[in-house]
Structure 1
C-alpha cells in the first residue's frame, strides 16, 4: 500500500495545490507541494484592561478597540484588515489613567505616592490645624481628583475661661484665641492680680491652666481731720468718705474723697482739712472809693473811681471760704485818648502826645480834595476813645469816558490822576494810546483810540491741497482746504483767523488715502507693506493650497481694495487611481497627505503598494511598486483515475472539464472552477466502468461468464440435446451494449 499525505491548513488559511500526495514507486511524492495562503486576518491578541469589537476577520473589515473605565488607549482605536491579510498599524494597549499632582493644601500635606486611577490620597493638617472638608480624594477615570478641596483651619480655643474681675487680652485684637496664641491676663480697675498672668491656646483646643486671680484694692486708713471728721465705713476700691468741718470752720480740699484703683485716696496734693472762716482788711484805692459789707465769709467790697479816672481791675471782691478775697487789687487810671486817627489827604495838625477827656481833633482836606464823609472833628470821651465818625477826603472825579466801537473801557479810578484803559473786543487791536488819565479839572486827557480787526496774514500752505478763500485774512475770515484725488485730509478742513492773530487749529495734512489692512483670504497670506493709494498687495497660498483668480489687489482712491479677491483651494490629486478588479477606500477629499487603500476584488490578489498618498504635485505616490490586482492561480486541476481533464488556463474563473477513458462513464459534475480563494471549487468526479447489464438470452441457450462490465465477454452454448448453428462469444462494449445477440439452438 502506497503512503499518502493529506494536507490541512490552519484556521484562517486556505490550501493552494492538491490536498493529498502519494509516494510513487520512484520514491518521489506525486504532484506539486501545496501552500497555505491566508484568506482572513489573524485573530488579534487580547487587549488587557480593554476589549475589541470585530464581526469577522475578512479583508476590509475594521476592528474597534476600547479600554475599560480608568484606562486610556495608547495607539489607534480602529484598525483595518488589509489586502495582505494583516491588520493595519500596530497593536494598541490600555494604559491606566494618571491624575495630575494633587492640589496642595495650606498648613497641611497629603500622603500617597501613586496618582493613577482609583489611587487614594489622604490630606493631613500640621500641628495646631484641623481639616475641614473631605480628607480623602480618589483619582477618577477622567484624570481628575474626585471630591472637593479640603482646608486646614487653625485650631481655636474660643474665649479663655471667664474668671471674676479678670480681663483677657488676645494679640491682634482677635475675639478668639488660635493655636499657640498666648492671652495676657489682667485685672479690672480697682483689682490687683495674683498668680501666672498668661494662658496659651493648645493643640487640643483648650486653654492652659492658670492660677491667676484678682483681689480688690484696699486703701490705707484716712488721716485724721483737725477741726473736723471723716464719715464712712470702708477702705476698699470705690468706697467714699464724707469730710465735715466743725462750726466756724470751712473745708479746704475734696469733700468726698474716694478710694482709687491704685490703692490711694483721690485727693490732690494734700488731704482735705478745716480752716477758720473770715478775710483780712483790704488796702485803700487811690483816686477812688471802696465800700464793704463786712469781713466775714461772703462779705463784698465795691470799688468806684473819681471823675476823669477809669477803674482797672474787678469792681467787686468777695471773701471766700478759705479766708481770701476773690480777684486781684484794682486801681483808678487817668482817662487819656490816643493820637487821633490818620486821614489821608487831610492837612496835618499839631498833634499832642496825650489827649485828656473832652479834647478835640479837627480835620481839614488838602487842596483838590473835599470832605466827602464823616465829621470834621472828633472828641476824647470818658471811655478813652474818640467819639464821632472819622472823615474822608476824596479826590475830584471825572465823568464817563467816551465810547469806542468794538471795545470796552475799564476805569481804574474816576478820581484825580485816575486812569481808564480801552480794551478792544476779541479779534480787534488798539490803534493809538489805550490809556487816558483823569485831570484835576475833571476831564480825561489824551485822544480817544480806535479798535481795528486783527490781521492773520496768508493762511498756511498745505501740499497736495486746493485752498478756497476770499483773500481777506482778517479776524473771522475762513479758509477751506480740499485734497487732491487719492489723498485724504487729516485734521480740520477749515481754518479761521482767530482773535490771537493766528489761524485756528493745527495745519491739516493731505496724506495718501489708506485702505487699511488688506482683506484676509482663507489659507493665504499677502505680500506688501504699504496700504496707501495705488499701493498693491499680492496674495500667496499656504503650503498644499493653490491660488485661483487675480492674486493682486490695489488700493483705490476711495480707500477700498479693488480687484476680484482670489481664493486658495486645497491641492487635490483628483480621483484616486483605479485598477482593474479592485476597489478603493479613501477618506473624504483627495487632499495632500491623504491616503487611499487599495483592495482587490474576490478572486484577485494585490501586488505592489497597498496604499497611495496624495502629494503636493497632485500626483499619487505609491509606497512600493505600482499596484495591480492579479487573478489568483489555482494551478493544475486535480487528476482523475481512468479519465482525463481539459482546461485552457488555471487562473480565477477558469474551468477544467473532466472526461473518462473509453469504457468508463463520468459520475458527478463534469467540471471544476478556479474560485476566489485560488482553489478549484467543486467535487472531483469519478470514472466508473461501463456496465452492460445481463447479456440477452435465447431459447435453450446457456451463458458462460459472470462479469458484465466493459471488455468482459460471455460465451453462448446450447443446452444438451440442442445444437447451435455456431458457437460464439459476445463482448461488453464501451457503449454499454453487448456486441452480439445470443445464438439460436435447435
Structure 2
C-alpha cells in the first residue's frame, strides 16, 4: 500500500497593524500564535491582540485596531481659568491660570495625559494672594497688623513734626505677595534760624525742631513796632508769625522850661536832644538847658528854670531912674498951669515914696559902696 505524504499548514503574517508592534514578517505553522501590543499611548479599540494559525491557513479573530488613549478633562478648578470640556489624547497638555488676585498654593498649573488615561501631577489649588503688613515705620502711623489681599492698599503718614525722607506713603499688595514701592522713612523736621533782625538780640545760628521757640528782644532804646518777638517752629519747617521790626523808642513831648524859648519840634525819638535858651535878660537857675531822649522813653535831666539876671535888673533900674528924673523936670516946668498939674505932681511924689525902699535896695546891689 502506498504511503501518503502531508504538507504542513502554513499561515502568512498579516499586514502591519498601525500604532502597534507585532510579529516579524514570515510564515507560521498551524496553531502557531502571533501577538500584538498597541504602542504607548494607544489602546486596542477592536480586533484581537493574539491570533492563531488555523487549519485553513487563516488567522483566528481579526486584526487589532489601536486608537489613541483619551483622557477626560478634570473638574473645574476654583479661582482659575483652565481647559475647555472635552477629551485629550495621550501626551496632550492642559494648562491653568489662577485668577487675578490668586496664586497657586499647591498642585500643578500644567498637566499631561498619561497612557493610563490619568493626568500627571494633581489639580492646582488657587488661593487669594495675601501680603503681610510690613514692619512698623518709626515716627509714622500706618496700617493695623494683619493680612491684605492682592491690590489692597496700605497708607502711612509721618507723625507731626516729621517729614518723608524716602519711601512711599502708599503701598499696594502685588501678585508676588510683596508690596509696591519701598518702606517709608520719616525724619524730624527742622526750622533754620531766620536772618539777623536789625536792632535786636536773637537766637544763635542753627536749626530747631518742631515746636521749639526762638525769642528776640529789641536792643536798649528800641521797641517792637510789628512782627513777633517769639516764634515757634511749625510742622512744615517754617516759623509761625513774622520777623520783629524794632524802631527807636519815642519820648513824650517834653515840658517847656520856665522863662525859656520854646522847643522847635513836636516829636522825638531815642538819642534825640533838645536845647533850651533862657529869654533875654534871664539865666538858668536850675534844671538842664540840654536834655536827651533816653532808652526808656524819658528825658534826661530836668526842665530848666530861668531867673532874671542881675545885670539885666540893674539895666532896668538905671533906665527907670532916668525916666523918673525926666518926669520931675517936666513937672516943674508946668507947675504954673493950674491945680490939675499940682495934683499930678503930688501923686508922683507919693509913688516915689512907695518905690524908695525898692530903689534903695537895687541901688545897693547895682552900685556897691
Give TM-score scaled by structure 1 length: 0.26
Higher helix share: 2
Higher strand share: 1
Structure number with greater CO (CA < 8 Å, separation at least 6) is: 2
